[in-house]
Each structure stands twice: as structure tokens, then as C-alpha cells.
């Protein structure tokens, strides 16, 4: 019998986030994103991850509204792009994201990266702190109603970035979203976040498909009768991460969600843990952006 993996994790904000989400990075705005999100929600996903940079917040929101799933049951994340880093500009950009989505609020808003200007980073965090305190009624921000943003966090932050941010913060980040998979494990950063109650979300948990044919992955998959992608996602879950696989194909979406019915043994985990090679498949602000 497979070891139990939680359906949701409680954030430091007190809200709960489902432990598998659908990422929509590079899902084209319009029908591609809309259809992918609608399919995922009908399959049982309850966590969608978008960003201002992706240009598809409106399509995510429309799919959520059309899905028939109650809004309160769908956890939606977006990210503040660094062009809007600043206190007033950041808060205005968060409001714009909520309005584009048409969802009434966002469950999680992240700083998309540390940015090259630490001063603007701190100002942007103050904007998120303000956003989590603001409330919305309809399209007007006022003194009653639901929160504009329920939880806040960061993406692509290293330990030093987090240390500096938290020294001046009044609200601590609930989440750090970074690229993590067996070939890029970021063990020290994950441990640092765990010690401070920051949940680590793993984007590109399938290494953008670049390692699905690795013999160490395929041998585990064949023995268990599952797909290589399922092996990588199960590895994330057993390490306490929240993976965000991306797929626009319903069959793959369904397979990616079905990772609670099997368990990786200690031996399997050791094999996958031995795959570390520092493989960054996307950008790496953790090493590129100054503290």
C-alpha cells in the first residue's frame, strides 16, 4: 500500500494549498490555456499556477469560472513581474491581476524573482504585504469583503535573498517556488525553507522532459508499471515538495495527477537522489540576481 501523501499543505498564512498544481508557463494565451485549465479542473486538479509574464491570467480565470467548480475550491497563483516592482506600482499590478482573472481574489501572489535591484525587491514585497491586507467587494477595494490576496511568497529566491527580505518583512513568505527535480535538488535551499516554515513549490518538476528517458528513471518506472513522469512527480511529493507539472494534454494531465496510488521505496529514492547534476533547464535568478 502506498504511503499517504497529503492532498493539501497548510501554509504559514493559515490557508491550504493542494500539493499538485497545473503550471501554465508557455501555454499560449487564449484557447490553449483555457482548454488546458478546463480539462485539468474536470480531471480533479484544484491548483493552477500562472503569472503576469505568461499573459494568460484571464484565460485561467475564465476556465475556473466556466468549470463549475466552486471558486473557494480552486487555488490560483500568479506572480508579480519585476517591471512592476515598487510599492505603489506593485499594488496596482496585483489589483490588475485580480481584475484580469475575474476571480475576485488570488490565493497566492509571488514575487517572480529577486530582480537586479534589491531596493525595488523590498518595495515590491511591501506591495504584497499591503495586498494581503486589502479586501475587495466586487471591483472596488474597500473595508469589507474578501481578501485581495490570501497568501504571499516568492519565486527563484536563494537563501541570501530570503534572509535579506525577511529582515525587513512584516509578513513572512509562505512559499518559495523554484526549479527542483532529481537532477537539480537544491537540498540546502529546501532545508532552509523547511526550517522556516516556507513551503517549496517545484516548477519544471519533470526537467522539461529532458530526463524522462534517463535509465535510472525508466528502470524505476518499468518496475512499478508507471510512467517516468509519474516517478519524478512522486519523488517530489515524497520529499515534501509541491510539484507544478505543465501539460495541455488531458491524458498526460490525468497521469500526472495519479501519483498517490504507488510509492517509491527507500532504494528508489536513493537512486533518484543520486541523479543530482545541477541541471538548470530554465533561468536561474538564484545565482544571477544580486543579494
Q: Could you give the CA distance from residue 282 to residue 278 in angstroms, rounded to a whole number?
A: 12
Domain spans of the chain, in order of start:
8-208+240-259
Tell me which of 25, 34, 45, 54 is the catalytic residue: 54
Please indicate whether residue 45 is annotated as part of the active site: no
User: Does residue 249 have a known ligand-binding role?
Assistant: no
Look at residues 263, 264, 268, 227 and name the one whose alpha carbon lies nearest to residue 245: 227
pLDDT tens, residue by residue, 17-32: 999 999 999 999 999 9
pLDDT tens, residue by residue, 126-151: 999 999 987 654 444 544 345 799 99
Domain 8-208+240-259 fold: TIM Barrel (3.20.20)
pTM above 0.85, yes or no: yes
Look at residues 275, 96, 115 and name the one whose alpha carbon lies nearest to residue 185: 275
pLDDT tens, residue by residue, 87-108: 999 999 999 999 999 999 999 9
Pairing between β-strand 22-23 and β-strand 199-203 as defined by DSSP bridges: unpaired
Q: Could you give the CA distance from residue 112 to residue 128 in angstroms, rounded to a whole number?
A: 12
Q: Could you give the CA distance from residue 111 to residue 286 in angstroms, rounded to a whole number?
A: 13
* C-beta separation of 248 from 35 below 8 A: yes
Amino acid at each position: 500500500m502506498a504511503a499517504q501523501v497529503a492532498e493539501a499543505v497548510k501554509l504559514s498564512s493559515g490557508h491550504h494549498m493542494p500539493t499538485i498544481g497545473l503550471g501554465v508557463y508557455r501555454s499560449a494565451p487564449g484557447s490553449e490555456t483555457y482548454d488546458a485549465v478546463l480539462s485539468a479542473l474536470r480531471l480533479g486538479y484544484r491548483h493552477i499556477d500562472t503569472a503576469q509574464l505568461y499573459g494568460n491570467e484571464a484565460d485561467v480565470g475564465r476556465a475556473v469560472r466556466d468549470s463549475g467548480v466552486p471558486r473557494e475550491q480552486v487555488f490560483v497563483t500568479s506572480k508579480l513581474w519585476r517591471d512592476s516592482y515598487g510599492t505603489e506600482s506593485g499594488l496596482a499590478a496585483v489589483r490588475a491581476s485580480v481584475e484580469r482573472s475575474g476571480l475576485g481574489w488570488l490565493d497566492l501572489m509571488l514575487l517572480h524573482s529577486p530582480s537586479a535591484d534589491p531596493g525595488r525587491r523590498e518595495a515590491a514585497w511591501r506591495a504584497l504585504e499591503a495586498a494581503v491586507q486589502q479586501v475587495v467587494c466586487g471591483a472596488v477595494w474597500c473595508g469589507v469583503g474578501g481578501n485581495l490576496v490570501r497568501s504571499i511568497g516568492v519565486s527563484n529566491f536563494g537563501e541570501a535573498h530570503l534572509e535579506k527580505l525577511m529582515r525587513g518583512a512584516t509578513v513572512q513568505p509562505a512559499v518559495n517556488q523554484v526549479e527542483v527535480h532529481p537532477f537539480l535538488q537544491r537540498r540546502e535551499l529546501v532545508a532552509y525553507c523547511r526550517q522556516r516554515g516556507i513551503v517549496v513549490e517545484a516548477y519544471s518538476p519533470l526537467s522539461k522532459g529532458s530526463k524522462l528517458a534517463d535509465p535510472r528513471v525508466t528502470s524505476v518506472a518499468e518496475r512499478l508499471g508507471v510512467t517516468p513522469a509519474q516517478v519524478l512527480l512522486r519523488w517530489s511529493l515524497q520529499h515534501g515538495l509541491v510539484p507544478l507539472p505543465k501539460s495541455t494534454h488531458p491524458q498526460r494531465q490525468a497521469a500526472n495527477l495519479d501519483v498517490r496510488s504507488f510509492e517509491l521505496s527507500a532504494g528508489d529514492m536513493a537512486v533518484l537522489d543520486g541523479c543530482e547534476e545541477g541541471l538548470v533547464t530554465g533561468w536561474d535568478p538564484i545565482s544571477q540576481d544580486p543579494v
